[in-house]
Structure 1
């Protein structure tokens, strides 16, 4: 039996639902059932009790134990062979959101590729939920994820925590708060922005399904306030560029992108921390717990963590307050 059969079985054993397990593995239910049936035929045991609900038999529980041992041994062997190989060549699979790939991966590549010129990388750009599913299905080696809860099967390495910021230009404050704009700006610099206090300004909003937008809509709704939205876009870089005409709720990574794309002499956009409890992003490096990884994957993890430290240092130096901890 190919090692993949055991990987499929373990996902089915965890989910105890063929439909959910197949979806998690990105395969059909029939294909997954066929793999399980071949395992049962090969070892002459029944792994699942199928009625009234799917449950592991005693043999199935034993299979879980030994299947994990086999997978860990297989991965340890691959990692060791990769490290022993002269002029180590290999391939790794990295998961990251599309937005974070655009902002960070260029720097990661520039640092990592000269160290490992014979290593190729496949980038999977997706949201955290999808990346974690693929990681558990052994389709990724490591991923950069947001707000991952503790779990028994994954190693979660915290890197940075991002606080959302609000772009409020002086020109916008002067136009809408001509009598108090200087006082407002000084208060924002000291305390951050209470979004309820600027609900009369025009807003740039993220799409309705976005997590930040959902929280923002709830904030205004419970306070019976409905700001005037002049633009709806998922492009936070564009929000920063148009900051003279509207308020945008921005991830600090776009300040980092701004810093990378502009000269040192250019004036950074005017942003302030958001005081309201809308959202913070805990950015972590995630891999499967207990799985040995080749040195070239461990080296990539170090490069990613170094890039996150650089990100934190630069963004916090751009402002008189900390947006990243």
Structure 2
């Protein structure tokens, strides 16, 4: 990348001429001159200076393009350093903590036998957070839910899952009858749970938005939510301790399905797809060890899904 382009990226990311100058070890006037040259070259303003500094629509396009160029250059250097052997390298993978517990043990057992010289770091977070990390080249792959379409992302849906309501049997007895148990096995009406303590998802997560779609569509308001967490195993633990009920993907509840202390119910009229997506950066080349990891990860997810819904 040219110096103009590198300094533009710094300004676009800091939205501060002074900070960009400090990071690039030049004067503020020098930074301003670089931006002015780019604006003259493209014949349009790239930043609004007032009432605060922010990108123009044209600046957004330039930023996304330069960011992809930067990622491609970084990846080129990485690939060339690993060129002598595509069986050696470093891999950064993102997925939720609960999925990590389910998938990583068997996944690593298979993968490490084939690629013993590849070092893997696993990172956790909501899909929205992992998406941003991938676009910033801080991840190579992530497993997410209902990933948004983005020009920089290659999104492959591996399987679909379903949301289930989880409630402790003692809590169920406190609020419902045996007749309700029979009816709920066909699908629960969340209106009947609006005053019962619930653990919900953090508002940045894809599952929170998916659940909100259902609630808004059916005119349902849940009034008693004392706790928020995106970790499904924590939600189920709270159910086991009779603190709250929760709504979790069935795949992530697999280790608890045989537990005799809690009930699992499908949700009535829940018609929103819950896609499990494997996401990579479409502009980056993938050496053999990454392609192999993707294949094994997909196989593990599909196997979990197949066993669950037999």
TM-score when normalising by structure 1: 0.67
Which digits, 9 at most, give the CA deviation of each residue in 1:185-211, with x for residues without a partner?
Answer: 333333x111113446x4332367475
- Residue matched to 1:299: 292
Matched, 1:315 2:305: no
| Higher mean C-alpha displacement, 155-164 vs 233-242 | 233-242
- Residue matched to 1:121: 120
Which digits, 9 at most, give the CA deviation of each residue in 1:93-120, with x for residues without a partner?
Answer: 1122333323322232222112111110
Do the aligned partners of 2:96 and 2:124 also contact (CA within 8 Å) in 1?
yes
SS at match of 1:257: helix
- Residue matched to 2:85: 85
- Residue matched to 2:188: 193
Do the aligned partners of 1:92 and 1:121 also contact (CA within 8 Å) in 2?
yes
Pairwise CA RMSD of aligned residues?
Answer: 4.7
Which digits, 9 at most, give the CA deviation of each residue in 1:264-292, with x for residues without a partner?
Answer: xx659531112255975422111111321
1:62-101 matches, within 5 Å, as 68=69, 72=72, 75=75, 78-79=78-79, 82=82, 84-85=84-85, 88-101=87-100
Number of equivalenced pairs: 288
- Residue matched to 2:268: 275
- Residue matched to 1:256: 254
- 1:281–1:7 distance in 2 versus 1, CA, 3 Å: farther
SS at match of 1:91: strand
Task: Pick the aligned partner of 1:206 from 194, 197, 200.
Answer: 200
Deviation of the 1:21 alpha carbon: 10
Deviation of the 1:304 alpha carbon: 1.4
Do the aligned partners of 1:78 and 1:294 also contact (CA within 8 Å) in 2?
no
Which runs of 5 or more structure 1 residues have no equivalent in the other structure? Answer: 23-27, 318-325
Distance 2:16 2:102 in 1: 33
Distance 1:82 1:127 in 2: 30
Matched, 1:239 2:238: yes
SS at match of 1:270: strand
Which runs of 5 or more structure 2 residues have no equivalent in the other structure? Answer: 40-44, 50-54
- 1:218–1:288 distance in 2 versus 1, CA, 3 Å: closer
Do the aligned partners of 1:112 and 1:303 also contact (CA within 8 Å) in 2?
yes
Do the aligned partners of 2:107 and 2:297 also contact (CA within 8 Å) in 1?
yes
SS at match of 2:82: helix
Deviation of the 1:136 alpha carbon: 1.6
SS at match of 1:138: coil
SS at match of 2:246: strand
- 1:89–1:77 distance in 2 versus 1, CA, 3 Å: same
Distance 2:165 2:117 in 1: 43
Distance 2:154 2:202 in 1: 32
- 1:135–1:225 distance in 2 versus 1, CA, 3 Å: closer
Which digits, 9 at most, give the CA deviation of each residue in 1:218-237, with x for residues without a partner?
Answer: 9499556745x6x6363123
Distance 1:163 1:21 in 2: 45
Which digits, 9 at most, give the CA deviation of each residue in 1:145-168, with x for residues without a partner?
Answer: 222211111111112333211124
Do the aligned partners of 2:162 and 2:274 also contact (CA within 8 Å) in 1?
yes
Do the aligned partners of 1:158 and 1:282 also contact (CA within 8 Å) in 2?
yes
SS at match of 2:114: coil
SS at match of 1:109: helix
Do the aligned partners of 1:205 and 1:213 also contact (CA within 8 Å) in 2?
no
